[in-house]
Structure 1
């Protein structure tokens, strides 16, 4: 997801998801011998991708999120109150989109910022469009590449990143940000050993301009708030 500022979360997530799945849908459609040529038209494939994306976002909207997270977007809260509300909170990864969509319906705009520190030898490399490191420590990828499985694994395990999502209604802003160390559970603190995401807001006394500037340089503000990811089925 590229950097984007102050957009409608629902519209943007549908568009992003549709474009993300387009290559896979295209590959499947083009393989089918019995499909009419009209179905293989790029516009038809994009329309099909968008329809799938709309269903996925509708499903995300229907998911429940903790009431204490909803309160962040409903009430005027101090930093102390926000920290207290979020203590011990756990969500599933798919509920992250639900939070953004809930905030969108409460009048908040969505922004996304990403910083990635990639090893120099992989800058400009012909990377595949998708790389996944499986639990079995094996690599799956989609798209052409000259990299070996070992190189793709190194690219994943060595690269550092910051991914920050900010929700802003021009009066208040809330930020949920992830780091590689945090997702792997390699941070100190009460919940730092579990996969988690951090939270800060305007109530923390930080300038939004400075926070965004920091994220763009790979610098994260300090936050003791750890919202853990529930990985149970």
Structure 2
């Protein structure tokens, strides 16, 4: 996990950024529990330091880890107890493309169900977990300086922190036209499943059910190696499949 504290231009506040571009072949239960624990411990330190800097400087990391552990009691149990449709369980048992297409037809997932499936894939079936994030920015940015942090506010204006030689209009174009893919791999030996989504999908910009947010699915049964598929995502030339899984309770919802 990478983390950075980015201070506002006026020095009165800051944004704590957490990021992980690549996770490979891990126990997902251990990975997510460790990630969430570390993230919350760091956030607790930040919050306390903002009010009581001297007091916070006297406390060691164990104090914040213990507080984070208290906050997380029951947090991951809800994922382990969340039920997922039996078709996803059967999916983890088959290596046949035709079966996969049949099982996933008309399926939906919400974020809690996805986490439950990730945990079950390891706990019940022994799949290791990998996660990759790929971002491709619009053309014409070579040699340009992007700010450390920028986003579009609710009123449509740009909030930015850090030096840049781009106008607000150009920064807005970067946000609206960048292409981002987040992929989740379940892997065992030479076989893998991959559920992936794009920011365009979340934002309702893909041609599926009038903009319904959704996952795509592909596996090693589709005749492509993991290495080649990862490269295709990195270059934004990934192989599309006919399998779409509606993402509920997150992103653009059309019903």
TM-score w.r.t. structure 1 length? 0.78
Counterpart of 2:236 (choices 213, 218, 225) is 218
Shift of 1:156: 3.3
Check whether the contact 2:179–2:199 (CA below 8 A) recurs between aligned residues. Answer: yes
The 3 A distance-change label for structure 1 pair 41 and 171 is same
Of stretches 77-86 and 180-189 in structure 1, the one that deviates more from structure 2 is 180-189
Shift of 1:196: 0.4
Aligned residue runs from structure 1 range 150-229, under 5 A: 154-189=173-208, 191=209, 193-229=211-247
RMSD: 3.4
Of stretches 88-97 and 161-170 in structure 1, the one that deviates more from structure 2 is 88-97
Counterpart of 1:18 (choices 37, 44, 49) is 37
Encode CA deviations 1:93-114: one digit per residue, 9 max, x unaligned.
2322222111111200011111
Aligned residue runs from structure 1 range 77-116, under 5 A: 77-105=95-123, 106-116=125-135
Check whether the contact 1:197–1:228 (CA below 8 A) recurs between aligned residues. Answer: yes
Give me the whole-angstrom Cα distance separating, in 1, the residues matched to 2:156 and 2:78. Answer: 30
Encode CA deviations 1:117-155: one digit per residue, 9 max, x unaligned.
235389764434xx7767x556898x9656898777555
The alignment covers a number of residue pairs equal to 226
TM-score w.r.t. structure 2 length? 0.72
Aligned residue runs from structure 1 range 37-52, under 5 A: 40-52=59-71
**Which is greater in Rg?**
2
**Which of the two has greater helix per residue?**
1
Check whether the contact 2:137–2:178 (CA below 8 A) recurs between aligned residues. Answer: yes
**Which of the two has greater strand per residue?**
2
Check whether the contact 2:42–2:64 (CA below 8 A) recurs between aligned residues. Answer: no
